[in-house]
Structure 1
Amino acid sequence: MAETIRKYITNKVAFLEQRVPVYAPVLGITFIVAVWEIIGRSGLISPLFLPSPTSILSAAWEMIVKGELHPNILASLYRIILGYLLGGSIGIIVGLLLGFSKWAESVGTPILFSFYPIPKIALLPLIILWLGIGELPKVTMIALGVFFPVVINTYSGVKNVDSTLIKAAVTFGSNHLNVVRKVILPGSLPVIFAGLKLAAGTSLLLLVAAEMIAAKEGIGAMILHYGNLMITTKLMVGVVLLSVIGLIFNRTLDFLERKCLPWK
């Protein structure tokens, strides 16, 4: 009886741990694109409202040939990468400080949780008033949106590290620096990466909002421009580009997480 149970559990574990084929992530996207193409070609929905994927690709190629696409992509990538790096790095530093220091926690957390609920888009007119029209207010807007989820997740990650691990490290003679470096930081990294992934979506949202309000170039400005002209295919090119950028962000963070957390 015991042997039968052991074999059953072994088979179940083997089933749960089986490797997913490399092509599996592509299946869902392929299915959605195929259905989208069928609907677009069937004429059930007007191309004005939902152009087919092939017509969007054709519009994208036309924009590439005419040189309309790459200036907008480069402008958006510059803003989002710079804003993300600034907001993320400052958020991690502040979050670690809040988690490690009782003084910083008591002074900083009321300020942090007072400003966090404010919609960052609502601050854009004020930021433009303070910083003028240019790249600085857009980058600042993105950095603000990234900062809050990262700092909150970093702070939560540090505070929720298993205290038993910390006590064990101290018991075996580790000094304060080693406890921070070898116990607290590795223990909080999963939560920090969760915050970074959450911030990636927020950064795209704020990028589009900032470019629609105060930019001549960028994917958000391009979407607004072609939306006003009711050129849906080129508008959808911008939407698809945002989706691709978001996917690249997610995959990059997954790669960094695997490198930083090999035990996961």
Structure 2
Amino acid sequence: MPDATRSGEVRSSAAESAAARPVPFRGGGFAPRRVLYVGPVVFIVLIALIEIGTQTGVISNLVLPSPSAVFWTFVELYQSGMLWKHLLPSLERLIVGGAMGAAAGVAVGVMIGLFSLVRAGLVPLVAAIFPIPKIALLPLFVIWFGIDEGSKYALIAFGTFTPTVVATYGGVDNVDRSLIRMGQSFGLAWWSIVRKIVLPGALPAILSGLRVSLAIAIILLVAAEMLGAEFGVGAYILEAGALYDLERLFAGVTILSILGVTLSWLIGRLERQLLAWRT
């Protein structure tokens, strides 16, 4: 009997100590955890390996220039002032064309997701033009809008438009219908349901689509600037390639890479601001 009492006391104290310990939260829903410095370390290691390979002769400078040579070419480009002469026109074309295409894509995508008549009329059209390589349409845009800025804006806008439409109406379709029914049950107006339920629910897909759209916009920017542009990153790369100047060519490619990383970072910041409710 004393042994049974002692055993019960041990079990009771174990249960009390277990209850006193904090229970770890297990409902994170596979939320991504931010891991700092890993991305920069990967870049640094890759650049160091290329530098070592080019300096030791394992990688021929005729195939791939050393990162240090590209860096000094970039510094020279900055000091001469030519960096801004090429970068600012490219930024203007990217912002104007990308903004037009993304705004139109979001608007059309939302209408496709909300209205059956619009869906029936526009989904086949979007499906028909989505797989068309937009670069192949550049001569046509030059004929329509001229060789100046109009054709460049139009090409970038058109290339940004279609993936944004697809991402937007896909996001609207994936909004939980029980939430919409709940809003209807509480007597919310149609516009309130769209503004408070549909658009916030579709926002993650819209922002993911913007990542893809802006990457396509950078590709089309370079293609457009290679035809009839005196200044721009694409024109700079074309000139360097014609002269077989690999240092300048890779300096231009580095500018495009930095531009893409910057845009991705900005969208990431926007996601953290607008989608804080998901955490």
> TM-score, with normalisation over the residues of structure 1?
0.92
Matched, 1:93 2:119: no
Matched, 1:181 2:195: yes
Q: Partner amino acid for 1:235?
A: L
Q: Partner amino acid for 1:195?
A: G
Q: Distance in 2 between matches of 1:11 and 1:130?
A: 59
Q: Distance in 2 between matches of 1:239 and 1:38?
A: 20
Q: Quote the offset at 1:258 in angstroms.
A: 1.2
Q: Distance in 2 between matches of 1:139 and 1:80?
A: 8
Q: Distance in 2 between matches of 1:93 and 1:31?
A: 43
Cα distance per residue 1:199-233 (max 9 Å; x no partner): 01101110111111221211111111011111110
Match runs of 1:28-177 below 5 Å: 28-177=42-191
CA RMSD of aligned residues (A): 2.3
Q: Which segment drifts farther, 229-238 or 63-72?
A: 63-72
User: Equivalent residue of 1:173, what SS?
Assistant: coil
Q: Quote the offset at 1:21 in angstroms.
A: 4.7
Cα distance per residue 1:157-215 (max 9 Å; x no partner): 11121111111121222221211111111110011011100101101110111111221
Number of corresponding residues = 260
Q: Distance in 2 between matches of 1:208 and 1:19?
A: 35
User: Equivalent residue of 2:276, what SS?
Assistant: coil
Task: Show structure 2 runs of 5+ residues with no match.
Answer: 1-14
Cα distance per residue 1:123-176 (max 9 Å; x no partner): 110110111110110111011110000011111111121111111121222221
Q: Quote the offset at 1:236 in angstroms.
A: 0.4
Identity, % of aligned pairs?
A: 37
Residue 259 (structure 1) aligns with: 273
Q: Quote the offset at 1:20 in angstroms.
A: 4.1
Cα distance per residue 1:54-101 (max 9 Å; x no partner): 111111111222222211111111111111111001110111111111
Residue 247 (structure 2) aligns with: 233
Q: Distance in 2 between matches of 1:37 and 1:20?
A: 29
Q: Which segment drifts farther, 170-179 or 136-145?
A: 170-179
Q: Quote the offset at 1:10 in angstroms.
A: 3.6
Q: Distance in 2 between matches of 1:113 and 1:21?
A: 38
Residue 3 (structure 2) aligns with: none
Q: Distance in 1 between matches of 2:61 and 2:42?
A: 23
Q: Partner amino acid for 2:168?
A: T
Question: Which of 238, 245, 264 is equivalent to 1:250?
Answer: 264
Q: Which segment drifts farther, 40-49 or 126-135?
A: 40-49
Q: Distance in 2 between matches of 1:11 and 1:24?
A: 26
Q: Quote the offset at 1:114 in angstroms.
A: 1.3
User: Equivalent residue of 1:214, what SS?
Assistant: coil
Task: Show structure 1 runs of 5+ residues with no match.
Answer: none
Q: Partner amino acid for 1:153?
A: A
Question: Which of 190, 215, 218 is equivalent to 1:201?
Answer: 215
User: Equivalent residue of 2:249, what SS?
Assistant: helix
Q: Which segment drifts farther, 195-204 or 209-218?
A: 209-218
Q: Partner amino acid for 2:209?
A: G
Q: Distance in 2 between matches of 1:57 and 1:168?
A: 58
